[in-house]
A and B are shown apart, each in its own frame.
Chain A
Amino acid sequence: MAAIEVTDLWKSFGDNHVLQGVSLTVPDGQTYVVLGGSGSGKTVLMKHVIGLLKPDRGRVVVGGKEISALEGKALTEARQQFGMVFQGAALFDSMNVFDNVAFPLRERRRGQKLSREEVRARVVEKLAVVDLGEEVLPRWPAELSGGMRKRVALARALVSDPQVVLYDEPTTGLDPITTNYVDEMIQHAKERLGITSMVISHDIASAFRVADRMAVLYDGRLAAEGTPAEVRDSKDPFVQRFLSTWFQKQ
């Protein structure tokens, strides 16, 4: 079964034709990596998947629901199953780290009424996964380094155990050790919890490590799409150039 299905997606901002017919399928419980140059439209593609942007043409279906056609309350409800890590972390700067990470728990589990201790335990647990200790809980986003903000954003996206997680450059700005942690976290989420992930990455090494399938976005279209092996062997000149910088080092 396909968790995410993007069909013939087109999007322009004025004269800037960002997406020109992108189609892809993310099978349930797999990790899909989107590669591409800066400004190629990766973030725009991801925002369509979660319904923050509306396509000019084409459609997006996630978990059987046509996200691209939903509005208002229906869209809000369809997002219950999602988590997303924004490229710029997008932490709420009026809340400290604890309240940021606890936010999805408190909001999504309103019916369940988690106790204070349970909320705290889950927040601490998720922060530990990204190597942050309890001492960061009372700190404000403005007091954190860029990499720490990113890790808090990762914890926040995962804390309510969503079924589909979208990561917009989760490892950009992190040191190699933390990058490894994050890769393991994505793997772990897939293997233990069956979570479907879509990952935008600039880090080709980590992309080939975590991907079940991948795509290279170029000039508004997917220049290559398939398993990591298929993409590596792609004859597309842009894909070859894009990957060669990294494979030459190996």
Chain B
Amino acid sequence: MRTLRAGIEDFGRMLFFATETVAWALRPPARLELILAQMAFIGAGSAFIVGVTGTFAGMVFGLQMNFAMKQFAAEGYVGGSTAFALSRELSPVFTALMVTGRAGSAIATELGTMRVTEQIDAMETMAVSPIQYLVVPRVIASILMFPALTMLFNALGFAGAYVMGVYVAGIPEGPFIAHTREIVGPDDIFHGLWKAVIFGAIVSLITTWRGYSASGGARGVGEGTTRAVVSSSIAILVADYAATVLFVGT
């Protein structure tokens, strides 16, 4: 009961933090150089891990689909079904989980350390809002970079499936591509990219909040980071379900 209440209180404070973040994002000055630096860290810095994950996810999914479709002599649909799954589900969700592990944990640790060593307090005393200076750039960069990384995942994932399907499993290229065109359209890509935008907002707000509200020295920072990663991951899955129901119904 006590933990439930503490949890609800904490959630309320996080929502307040989120509104503060939006308010500070709309006030001048716009800190472009900080946003760019965070885009480099969150986006460019995560490209490798997202690319590797995308390639392997596409390759494995392609092989599994080939195994499944062969039983109906429908190998031609391997490309289309893989692209469908990638664009709507696999890419946004996997990308968000990988970026949470790499960049989200770093965000929570960095802000948490700044909090417990009073760097955030010091910034406040210099009449600079730490929310505007530290949180807003990370949130904006995440909202922009999650979809970009999701696109990278889509591209490499499909390339992986193509290599496995056409070169390894020997599916004729013609039907592979033709059926992909039939099954997957821009709608499916945008469905996934919208999810990526939502995940970017959620992950960046949770991880910055866990860092910003850290207390209790190095141990508190570690605990905050763990909580940030766990709750971000769960939030991604819940939001994915909610977004799917909202976009396509049940």
Contact = CB atoms under 8 A, between A and B. Distances in A.
A110 B122 CA distance: 18
| In the A-B complex, the 3 residue pairs with the closest CB atoms | A90-B122, A90-B118, A79-B127
Interface of A: 47, 50, 52, 72-73, 76-77, 79-80, 82-84, 86, 88, 90-94, 103-104, 107-108, 110, 160
A160 B122 CA distance: 14
Contacts, number: 54
A73 B27 contact: yes
B124 A86 contact: no
B168 interface: no
Interface string B96-135: 0000000000000010011001110111111111000000
Contact of A79 (B20, B27, B118, B124): B124
Given A50-B125, A92-B114, 19 more contacts: A47-B121, A52-B121, A52-B125, A73-B27, A73-B129, A77-B127, A79-B124, A79-B126, A83-B125, A90-B117, A90-B119, A90-B121, A90-B122, A92-B119, A93-B113, A103-B126, A103-B128, A104-B126, A107-B126
A52 B119 CA distance: 12
7 contacts: A50-B125, A79-B126, A82-B125, A88-B117, A93-B113, A94-B110, A107-B126
Nearest to A94: B110
A84 B129 contact: no
Contacts of A73: 27, 129
Contacts of A107: 126-128
Given A72-B20, A73-B27, A88 B118 contact: yes
A80 B127 contact: yes
B170 interface: no
Contacts of B249: none
A126 to B, nearest CB: 14
B186 interface: no
B127 A108 contact: yes
Contact of B122 (A72, A86, A94): A86
Nearest to A81: B127
Contacts of B125: 50, 52, 79, 82-84
Contacts of A86: 118, 121-122
Most buried by A among B110, B117, B129: B117
B29 interface: yes
A76 B124 contact: yes
A32 B249 CA distance: 67
A108 B126 CA distance: 8
A47 to B, nearest CB: 8
Contacts of B128: 76, 103, 107
Nearest to A95: B119
Given A72-B20, A73-B27, A110-B29, A82 B127 contact: yes
Nearest to B113: A93
A103 B110 CA distance: 19
Interface in B119-175: 119, 121-129
Nearest to A79: B127
Contacts of B29: 110
A245 B173 CA distance: 91
Nearest to B122: A90
Interface string B19-32: 01000000101000
B91 to A, nearest CB: 32
B113 to A, nearest CB: 8
Interface in B18-70: 20, 27, 29
Contacts of A82: 125, 127
Contacts of A93: 113, 117, 119
B80 to A, nearest CB: 47
A46 B240 CA distance: 47
A80 B20 CA distance: 20
A200 to B, nearest CB: 14
A132 to B, nearest CB: 18
